[in-house]
Structure 1
Amino acid sequence: MDNSKRTAVLLVNVGTPDEPKVSAVRRYLFEFLNDRRVIDLPLIPQKLLVNLIIVPFRAPKSTKLYEMLWTDEGSPLLVNANKNRDKLQASLGNDYQVFTAMRYQNPHLRKVLRQVRDQRFGKMIIIPVFPQYASSTTGTIGQFVSKEVAKWTVIPEIRFVSQFYDHPAFIKAFTERIKEFKPETYDHIVFSYHGLPNRQVDKVHPEIASTECTCEQAMPEHGKYCYKATCYQTTRLLAKSLGLKPDDYTLSFQSRLTKNWLKPFSDELVIQKAKEGVKRILFVAPAFVADCLETTVEIGVEYQELFEEHGGEKIQLVESLNDHPLWIETLKELINS
């Protein structure tokens, strides 16, 4: 087949350990946390923090969490990625070839890019599957691709999808997924996004600190690539699509490492709502298109325990898009737009 007339489509996610064992988790964390865009401290402090403190102590704890997450098929993140690949391939037809790629571990982005190079595709579309741009996710994928492709003799036409949080197809897909869980039957809805250090957000618009920005009320002019601003805009779009009133929902940020991360914190919000007498919360995680450690375990298990401990009853996690037909349609629209 003449690949010069075909398009390679790369669906790129962060990554996952190869298996729920300490050695595999350690390898994953080592590669992930040594990325200068993920932990953006000066080089020596970063290396000391990651390799002498975080990885050695975090690997055994994270392994126990991955053991809870793992299924008979393997890591849900990779399982769903491959389902997306296969379903999208079937929908697009022979003019395209769809690849699963991970920024860290397997199938590694470097290996997949070399497959594309060796098979001499005429065009390449790269979709980091993160609705909202962040330097530590979409940014690191873009940087990695640029460095790899710069070594190629022949560089094909390349299109890079930097974000899609406001794409009508994405909003429709998440809206329909939320509706499946009957949001009207819950006392409150929480839209929870992965947190980031304030300093990383501030780098996008250094003239305006993220803690002083008004993006909670409306999308500012400087907010196009600001993770915090796009998270709030995603929530407003979903709330409008669902017909929610402002009092029906709250936005928060999870998975924090320090107090100097984006607020409000999801775990603190869970406690607050329980103390206020809220009994049933519906959790939505629109920064994730596939269920993973942060959704299934952190929200579905850890937050449930925290909620019950302070008087709440039920936290229901809205299943992510995973391999939902509307998510496949969203990917197809991103490719054809």
Structure 2
Amino acid sequence: MTVDKPGVLLVNLGTPDAPTTAAVKRYLKQFLSDKRVVDVPDLFWQPILRGAILPFRSPRVAKLYASVWMEGGSPLLVFSQQQRDALAQKTDMPVALGMSYGNPSLQHAVDTLLDQGVTRLIVLPLYPQFSSSTVSAVWDGLYNTFRKRRTMPAIKFIRDYATHPHYIEALKDSVQRSFAEHGKPDLLLLSFHGIPQRFADQGDDYPKRCEQTYHALAAALGLSSEQIMMTYQSRFGREPWLMPYTDETIKTLPDKGIRHIQVMSPGFSADCLETLEEISGENREYFMHAGGESFHYIPALNADPLHIDMMLALVNQFKWSQPNQII
């Protein structure tokens, strides 16, 4: 008789192994070659990627990573490992961490769990709002991991948690702590990672999920539309992305009399280059240069106890589900 043993696989985007041009180039090559991220045919895209983007973008991005690098590695890796360890302390299920790109790989994480006898895999992509460019890429990665195996565990795949009560409560608590420390701002800005508008037009419900998070948090905090707004950051390439853009919006706020803002990025479960350098660094400079007086970045939830409690609630939903079910 096979003993049913559930295990948890946490998945995030990934990171270079080091803040060097070579490491960043390897990472970006894998990331930007994924059709979920850039869906341009290889015949056209790969020459551009290899001949122009990687040689010129990698050194610049390496310097940005170096500006936020931590003793244990990139912020995303360090905080994701802390999340894995904190969740493991709260459950008797094995917990492993894998990345869609870079290390630790999905393959390594899955092998780690299967080596411990896991027969039922509970997969939690650490993206609060579903997008085909992130969550579906995790599904693709799992397919590639298992497609050459003669067996596989039962799988429960958690699509997202954009309005989960524990998630909204954790965000609310984080905002309230920031308000208590820095004072209530003229505006709370929620900056979500962007995707091409074309993806949404083709059916990706990511912007709807972001809007649902925004409305749920605004209601929980009791803030009006004049006190809280949402934007999209980190656009790449020339085609239109979801609007309004974070950087362009921030530059206009001081002229509207908004001199004190606090910014959080609820779409990031862990702080990373896009929050620590792009938001807390680059966009802070935009705001202050435009006449702003006070800018505070509210950190991602990282390994905050309420965030870990949310993860525990999510995975526990499927700890006692039918062992032979692939959902």
TM range (shorter): over 0.9
In the alignment, the residues of structure 2 paired with residue 277 and residue 247 of structure 1 have an alpha-carbon distance, to the nearest angstrom, of: 12
Deviation at 1:259, TM superposition (A): 5.2
- 1:116 lines up with 2:113 in the alignment: yes
1:41-75 CA-partner distances (Å, limit 9, x unpaired): 12212212222222111101101110111122321
- 1:101 lines up with 2:98 in the alignment: yes
Deviation at 1:172, TM superposition (A): 0.7
Q: 1:277 aligns with which of 248, 251, 257?
A: 257
* Structure 1, 39-48 or 230-239: larger mean CA deviation: 39-48
Residue in structure 2 matched with residue 266 of structure 1 by the alignment: 246
Residues 191, 263 of structure 2: 8 Å contact kept? yes
Residue in structure 2 matched with residue 215 of structure 1 by the alignment: none
Structure 1 runs of 4+ with >6 Å offset: none
Residue in structure 2 matched with residue 297 of structure 1 by the alignment: 277
Residue in structure 2 matched with residue 251 of structure 1 by the alignment: 230
Stretches of structure 2 that go unaligned for 5 or more consecutive residues are: 318-327
Once superposed, what is the RMSD of the aligned Cα atoms?
A: 1.6
In the alignment, the residues of structure 1 paired with residue 261 and residue 55 of structure 2 have an alpha-carbon distance, to the nearest angstrom, of: 35
Deviation at 1:4, TM superposition (A): 4.1
1:249-279 CA-partner distances (Å, limit 9, x unpaired): 1110001123501100000111110222321
Residues 117, 152 of structure 1: 8 Å contact kept? no
Please state whether the residue corresponding to 1:13 is helix, strand or coil.
strand
Please state whether the residue corresponding to 1:246 is helix, strand or coil.
coil
Residue in structure 2 matched with residue 208 of structure 1 by the alignment: none
Deviation at 1:7, TM superposition (A): 1.6
Residues 96, 112 of structure 2: 8 Å contact kept? no
Residue in structure 2 matched with residue 149 of structure 1 by the alignment: 146
In the alignment, the residues of structure 2 paired with residue 117 and residue 151 of structure 1 have an alpha-carbon distance, to the nearest angstrom, of: 15
1:96-245 → structure 2 map (5 Å cutoff): 96-182=93-179, 185-204=184-203, 226-245=205-224
Please state whether the residue corresponding to 2:148 is helix, strand or coil.
coil
Residues 96, 110 of structure 2: 8 Å contact kept? no
Q: 1:326 aligns with which of 306, 312, 315?
A: 306
Please state whether the residue corresponding to 1:180 is helix, strand or coil.
helix
Q: Identity of aligned pairs, percent?
A: 36
In the alignment, the residues of structure 1 paired with residue 16 and residue 314 of structure 2 have an alpha-carbon distance, to the nearest angstrom, of: 28
In the alignment, the residues of structure 2 paired with residue 119 and residue 323 of structure 1 have an alpha-carbon distance, to the nearest angstrom, of: 25
Q: Which amino acid aligns with 1:126?
A: V
Residue in structure 2 matched with residue 80 of structure 1 by the alignment: 79
1:84-135 CA-partner distances (Å, limit 9, x unpaired): 1111111002xx1000111111101122223334444111011110001111
Q: Which amino acid aligns with 2:213?
A: T
In the alignment, the residues of structure 2 paired with residue 313 and residue 259 of structure 1 have an alpha-carbon distance, to the nearest angstrom, of: 33
1:132-151 CA-partner distances (Å, limit 9, x unpaired): 11111111111110232232
In the alignment, the residues of structure 2 paired with residue 44 and residue 199 of structure 1 have an alpha-carbon distance, to the nearest angstrom, of: 21
TM-score normalised by L of structure 1: 0.90
In the alignment, the residues of structure 2 paired with residue 120 and residue 143 of structure 1 have an alpha-carbon distance, to the nearest angstrom, of: 23
Residues 303, 315 of structure 1: 8 Å contact kept? no
Q: 1:3 to 1:236 in 2, by over 3 A?
A: farther
Q: 1:26 to 1:252 in 2, by over 3 A?
A: same
Residues 4, 121 of structure 1: 8 Å contact kept? no
Q: 1:150 to 1:119 in 2, by over 3 A?
A: farther
In the alignment, the residues of structure 2 paired with residue 293 and residue 142 of structure 1 have an alpha-carbon distance, to the nearest angstrom, of: 24
Deviation at 1:20, TM superposition (A): 0.7
In the alignment, the residues of structure 2 paired with residue 61 and residue 165 of structure 1 have an alpha-carbon distance, to the nearest angstrom, of: 33
In the alignment, the residues of structure 1 paired with residue 198 and residue 94 of structure 2 have an alpha-carbon distance, to the nearest angstrom, of: 39
